[in-house]
Structure 1
């Protein structure tokens, strides 16, 4: 994809329904709302996915991003939470033996609970939002840089492009992806959820978001990893000294790898904490746990060949509801 005439792009991390904070971040970046759309005279924004779920102003977050995209002021890629919403609301084919493509388990219900509640009195808007999600690509590739929600796996992206050249999938793809082990399943998992390694039998991680996990998230920029600690990428520590656990040949073969000579890559997804930093010289992760009272983070990319941590811009998300930012000059309700 070639650039429009812009000075650069502002890549924005997982918003997760922090719509008011998003408005404040855009204003800090020099965007101003006019006729319901945030615009910058010389730049455009790119959202790395996960606009919905968990946060206090989900509808506002979606409306801000959608209006910018539809007006040509921004791009967006699908996150795993948008995929969750699409599959949660799709009826499953009879051969699956269940009612919904994404089963309505207590865990899945809890993840999407806030989104459904905030759209409850706006059913047409929710249907329109789901339709918009179906038109969002899984990845973006420009001449100078790339964007994906969780992991850039070139082999899988090349495979996806054979049928979906622009990365925009359809309902048939989602149906096929519901079968573990299918090509579509592997593509969707890797691009929107990244890699993971299962923990030993009986070992779990009690995550900070209240879920119990039996696997841990892995990154994809270690050249020659040898232990679990070389590839773990999440805020939760591995229990029982498992950082020293050697990677098996099977685990190592399943890892993706993004080389340092590849063009800059922007991702979200991984619930980073603390002051934003570059996990690799050519990779910027923009998810800094905004909805867990962390930071909503952007990276101001101006086509520099080497990424620079000084180009991160962020807005802290306070715990005190009364202290949370309110968007100025905007009323989408």
Structure 2
């Protein structure tokens, strides 16, 4: 497999970094990338980042510089994550008459999620503006001859419509502002592609997740062929309460779910906070988010010419172990 210019023989897809700058350097070293003029590159391969470089971690600014330099030099590509989109929306003022001060409300909950990014860039206003402009230029998804990349979920109907207007997969200012209005196509597109499929908890129930947030929705699989119960489709670290997991899916639930079948191209996603040893979800779907910022693993997949996802091609650093080793602890 080579790119259109014949330069690269393979791709290394890397999951959610979330400010784990040191772990990212360790993973790039492990993948055979080296620094030249301060930028990581490989003579025969290119990285594709799955988004969510920002938020939560201790070295957000450093991670941003590593990824930005790689992308702008051609050593990497990237798709937008929901955290880049959220940060961009949080920092973008609403238009006059819109009723919005900012596209993403400056609520305590939203500030809490973005707090580390805001703090770590606070003394670097020029860099912050540079990164925000870069976020505006990020494609929402990438598609190649035999694989696809999107942060959370591949929704073909939404993508088909999006591509009619944005064939380079990059939205414009009008789209960004309309995406803040629930019920619009733009809002639905960003919600589904960057946050995935989800169902509302029945009967007004509320869950408190491990990170302390109250949640009325739960993330769902989009590859279950014939699910029957809520427990058949849940896809998140926090399990459903047993009494909910045993409930049957309703007709409306089925309408809200998607199905990405085994005949589709290989699909690489992040977003879902997986745990354990990295492995394929199905023969053609791999999630590369293994909770690096929660001392899990920062994961890559080494893609060459295969047509199905191979279990032995995941590469990772164990964040807790490798950082301890690096620091001599």
Name the TM-score class by shorter chain.
over 0.9
2:274 is the alignment partner of 1:269: no
Q: What whole-Å deviation, never above 9, does each CA across 1:144-200 have from its counterpart, x for those lacking one? A: 110000000111100100111111012211111111111111111000000111112
What is the distance in 1 between the residues matched to 2:264 and 2:80?
22
What is the distance in 1 between the residues matched to 2:192 and 2:319?
29
Q: What whole-Å deviation, never above 9, does each CA across 1:26-46 have from its counterpart, x for those lacking one? A: 000000011111011111100
Q: What does residue 324 of structure 2 align with?
A: 323
Q: What does residue 329 of structure 1 align with?
A: none
- Written as runs of structure 1 = structure 2, the 5 A alignment for 1:1-333 is 2=4, 4-318=6-320, 323=324, 325=326
Distance 1:120 1:98, change over 3 A: same
Distance 1:325 1:148, change over 3 A: farther
Question: How far is 1:9 from its partner?
Answer: 0.5
Contact 1:153 1:257 in 2 (8 A): no
Distance 1:315 1:112, change over 3 A: same
Structure 2 unpaired stretches of 5+: none
Measured on the aligned residues, the alpha-carbon RMSD in Å equals 1.6
What is the distance in 1 between the residues matched to 2:167 and 2:80?
15
Question: How far is 1:255 from its partner?
Answer: 1.3
Question: How far is 1:3 from its partner?
Answer: 6.5
Q: What whole-Å deviation, never above 9, does each CA across 1:230-271 have from its counterpart, x for those lacking one? A: 211001000133222211111111212211011111000000
Runs of 4 or more off by more than 4 Å in structure 1? none
What is the distance in 2 between the residues matched to 1:45 and 1:133?
17
TM-score, with normalisation over the residues of structure 1? 0.94
Question: How far is 1:108 from its partner?
Answer: 0.2
Question: How far is 1:124 from its partner?
Answer: 0.3
Contact 2:199 2:256 in 1 (8 A): no
Contact 2:86 2:104 in 1 (8 A): yes
Distance 1:82 1:4, change over 3 A: farther
Contact 1:48 1:268 in 2 (8 A): yes
Contact 1:24 1:325 in 2 (8 A): no
Tell me the SS of whatever aligns to 2:35: strand
Is 183-192 or 245-254 further displaced after alignment? 245-254
Question: How far is 1:319 from its partner?
Answer: 8.2
Distance 1:49 1:72, change over 3 A: same
Aligned length: 325
